[in-house]
Amino acid sequence: MAAREERKGQYSMLMHQITDWDDAYANAAHIPGGADFPEKWTKLAEAFRSRFRGSDQAQFDVEYANGDRNRYDVYHPAAASKGLVIFIHGGFWRAFDKSSWSHLAAGALEHGYSVAMPSYTLCPDIRISGITEEIAAAVTEISRIVPGPIHLTGHSAGGHLATRMVCRNTPLAADVLERIRRVVSISGVHDLRPLMRTEMNKTLNIDRMEALTESPALLEPVGDTRLICWVGGGERAEFLRQNALLASVWKGLGAATVAIDEPDRHHFNVIDGLQEADHPLTCALCA
């Protein structure tokens, strides 16, 4: 009897209920020097762009739709391009633009791919469903200037948007969709329902219907989806859970998936590997 009660107590201790949803999705507060990262990204990105100014290997601020932020940058390798990599930035759908991430094109460029980075309208000026439509427009327009296979990747909210492109209710046309070879979601948020409990939802305005129609983890993937869900091993528990969730759910729906936890990486440096051609993250994206 005593042993039985002890086991019951152990199970109760193992059970954990999230009560502070804002903290569950907070990153900067749990990363040493977290507030300094945006400035570092901006400097690295500007230094990278400066190498291409005046060169025919890059085009900047190309329009893909009519919105003020509907612009993309694209970088091309010196030789003929093997295909197209599109990186979609994060920021919880309410911050940043393409200008903070240019340096992350370096690794895929060395592999011989053209790399494009779009900006998009931010919440609250748009709903997440509207951002999905904008990213689909960006992918469509960029695909017209670079032939060959398309590899989609994105970080955090960008991971959501990248995977959203290969859901059965994707806004992409069939001819674009069939060119997508693989998707790499980096620390993606794939179930939007928990965010409805956070303060940031005053900006995002996610309601239950939008959560159901815009959460990849609640949707089915298109037929031949190949998905890598990549996350830093030192990230917040919710990002680890969200990462594993999509890989697990979509594997059960017929997609080829894998979930990878990269050791000693947090939410802000897990993307650093994209700068290096030989880094496992870049190799996974460009395979």
Taking residue 182's Cβ as centre, other Cβ atoms within 10 Å add up to 20
Domain ranges of the chain: 55-286
Alpha-helical (H) ranges within 62-127 are 106-110
Taking residue 34's Cβ as centre, other Cβ atoms within 10 Å add up to 15
Confidence of residue 15 (pLDDT cuts 50, 70, 90): confident
Q: Per-residue b/e over 255-273, b at no fewer than 16 CB within 10 Å? A: bebebbbbeebbbbebbbb
Averaged confidence pLDDT in the chain: 95
H-helix or E-strand containing 22?
Answer: helix 21-24
Write the CB contacts of 16 (distance below 8 Å, at least 6 apart in sequence): none
- CA 53 from chain center: how many Å? 27
Residue range 204-233: mean pLDDT, rounded = 97
Decide if pLDDT at 7 tops 70. Answer: no
Confidence of residue 2 (pLDDT cuts 50, 70, 90): low
Decide if pLDDT at 50 tops 70. Answer: yes
Q: Out of 113-117, 201-205, 221-225, which region has the weakest mean confidence (pLDDT)?
A: 221-225
Decide if pLDDT at 214 tops 60. Answer: yes
Decide if pLDDT at 4 tops 70. Answer: no
- Helix, strand, coil abundance in the chain, percent, nearest 5: 45, 15, 40
- 234 phi, psi to nearest 5 deg: -100, 20
Residue range 242-269: mean pLDDT, rounded = 98
| Residue % of the chain over a pLDDT of 70 | 95
Q: Whole-angstrom Cα distance, residue 120 to residue 130? A: 10
The per-residue pLDDT for range 144-176, each reduced to its tens digit, is 999 999 999 999 999 999 999 999 999 999 999
What is the homologous superfamily of the domain 55-286 according to CATH?
Answer: Alpha/Beta hydrolase fold, catalytic domain (3.40.50.1820)
Decide if pLDDT at 140 tops 80. Answer: yes
